[in-house]
Structure 1
């Protein structure tokens, strides 16, 4: 009972930690990634408009009217002014493919100084590389890329876009949490079964007392000839023969020879069947591509593997079919470590 309580507590702790990670960390990362994809899918003019709107409402910047702006081709650089009448040059690099280095940052800093601006603000759904950020500090350029850009622009997005992004991120988080629940339950079962298996292996074998009592039973018979040496010689021969005859039957069955078939004389007794199960679990655990094997129930052999099912299944079946009494057991093939494969169940024979 203690092993199952321990397994349940372990499963709950692992699932709780996984839930917190997937909901608080992975969900937010997924939302940012999906949000940046949605922003990148917008027309560059719409993207520039929501950026300028965010700057007006969040920082108090206003557009600086340029007399020649009507005669220029569409551009992504905008000159804006804060309440202290300090000018800032905004550069919108629209697209996820941008990997901005120091050259583009230095160019923006130079353009800002030529325009009489205090500094520049670089906005992109892409990424500013490490050397680009170092150059931005020297040039007085503020960088607003992926992780900072999405939270800033959320209030200005169309309602359906924001809702679709958050729903998709939540669905992905719920899917991962469900998988984590199954994985935690499997881990708890493995721990519980391993604990029980350890306890069973430490329990003394039943035949041991029977073998130990044989010399004790023979001791009184050995003392009888001391009183009458004449009659002891003929009388002692039958007990000796009788004691020697059962000795082979008391020997426990040894391990099967390679390629041999066990259990052909009928259904084995409970002790022999338990030994067959232990031997089968040990033999399967030694196969190539198998990490370990243990009995989850009396009819379910659980196998932890490191290779594809098609590679290890013939090796497992070869070992199972050596024990006809166990040929119909169900084999539970657990997913490989580090993968999201489902648990599979198979049988080598159905009858």
Structure 2
């Protein structure tokens, strides 16, 4: 019918409704980009800039000024310096006291230091020799991640650059600290301003890229229906029986790769933790890569009978040397043994 056809054509050329204009989309995008950038540069990056400048300032002070800051910061936590000239290892080691217990403090002054497990093990041996309850290892540089599990087992607190700055910033001269914060704030403002300019440009670009939603939209002709596909008969039973065996094998699921062996450091940590749970063992630590030092809490028979089965679970560690240290006050001697020979 003519009337019906005319009405159908008019509905195709009519403009679509506008729930939101292109300008609102562009403004919303600009506000989102600018707001996120402002939060990041003011709340996160500015703190990082202050920390970086603070570490550089701490590295520039003299050794005497730095160690005084460290001792003052630890004094807030109840640690007092114990004058022990006979046992002091060098100028970088100090003995602290809190609640009747001794703690060792080791400082490496300078932002170029990168301390690892070797430094932590040296401090741990000094703690054992002096009978201290624990220790502190401080540097403006960096302490590697592989040293942190070892330090946790030895009751050693690690404070490197980003962790050390909040502890010592209040002991810098007020004018120097104010200058560091002012420079970090100025840098954050410059970055925020640049971010808002980029957000404005992004909004304009999005506005220009969006289609003109007020233009009439002409519907395309409906697609022709797809021709029917004739049913294809499946293979008969005789055809299935004659299929080569390789076709069936090709459809099998791929085999799952074997799990990679456990890392040697993880094995050392696991066996030390397992031996530490024995009833007559106080703790077990690796004094070197080939020696496991076991501190006994009581003397109850032959401890190797209970230790060796745990060591032999790990092929790479079964031939390690075990140093059996008797409890304090015991008349027993230190013994060494290997659960399995090389």
In the superposition, the TM-score normalised over structure 1's length comes to 0.54
1:146 aligned residue (158, 161, 166): 161
2:23 is aligned with 1:7:
no
Distance 1:188 1:109 in 2: 58
TM-superposed deviation, 1:138: 2.2
Distance 1:67 1:150 in 2: 29
SS at match of 2:146: helix
Matches within 5 A, 1:7-156: 7-56=26-75, 58-68=76-86, 75-82=91-98, 84-156=99-171
Distance 2:65 2:96 in 1: 18
Flag the structure with higher helix content.
1
Distance 2:216 2:193 in 1: 38
Distance 2:113 2:85 in 1: 31
Distance 2:42 2:155 in 1: 37
Q: 2:191 aligns to what?
A: 176
TM-superposed deviation, 1:203: 5.9
| CA distances 1:41-63 after superposition (whole Å, capped 9, x unpaired) | 1111110111001111x211111
2:214 is aligned with 1:190:
no
- Count of aligned pairs: 199
TM-superposed deviation, 1:67: 4.2
Gaps of 5+ in 1: 206-351
Asked which structure has the greater CA Rg, the reply is: 1
- Change in CA separation of 1:203 and 1:143 when aligned onto 2, cut-off 3 Å: same
SS at match of 2:68: helix
TM-superposed deviation, 1:66: 1.9
Distance 1:137 1:55 in 2: 19
- Change in CA separation of 1:73 and 1:113 when aligned onto 2, cut-off 3 Å: closer
Distance 1:90 1:73 in 2: 11
TM-superposed deviation, 1:202: 6.0
Q: RMSD in angstroms over aligned alpha carbons?
A: 2.2
* Greater RCO structure (CA 8 Å; 6+ sep): 2
Distance 2:183 2:114 in 1: 26
TM-superposed deviation, 1:115: 2.3
| CA distances 1:152-190 after superposition (whole Å, capped 9, x unpaired) | 112111112211111111111111101100000000000
SS at match of 2:212: helix
| CA distances 1:269-307 after superposition (whole Å, capped 9, x unpaired) | xxxxxxxxxxxxxxxxxxxxxxxxxxxxxxxxxxxxxxx
TM-superposed deviation, 1:5: 2.1
Distance 1:54 1:204 in 2: 72
2:178 aligned residue (163, 177, 182): 163
Distance 1:145 1:152 in 2: 11
